[in-house]
Structure 1
């Protein structure tokens, strides 16, 4: 079975304003919802978004932001895992 991008959904998205790190909850077709860390979306000098890049190694700012967001991310993922 080949990957079908139309079946890949982003259910929830967070972005760190300081570092551009993006965390999403994704689901493929009817599969389990899962957390993805990255990409990183940085800003150009004119304030517009640059093309997404790999998250790469996380800075202390990234870690502190993730730590602060973890309960919200966990709660959202837990709610998505519960049977309807």
Structure 2
């Protein structure tokens, strides 16, 4: 089914299912299964981003947030 035709709840459910099964498909799926999985994931993610361009982004999931975490870890590891 086209991602455009899915309701919001169904779109989110399908994305969750694909993200949950990605690792197993990558490790154990056939080349064709991996190609289909990658294609479908891209289609659904693109549709999600199209519908929700202003989605909330957690600061910790940005580059700046990652750098702040790394800096805090370095400070914590310094001898007192």
TM-score (norm 2): 0.32
TM-score (norm 1): 0.31
Q: Say which structure is richer in helix.
A: 2
The structure with the largest alpha-carbon Rg is 2
Task: Tell me which of the two structures has the higher relative contact order, counting C-alpha pairs closer than 8 angstroms and 6 or more residues apart.
Answer: 2
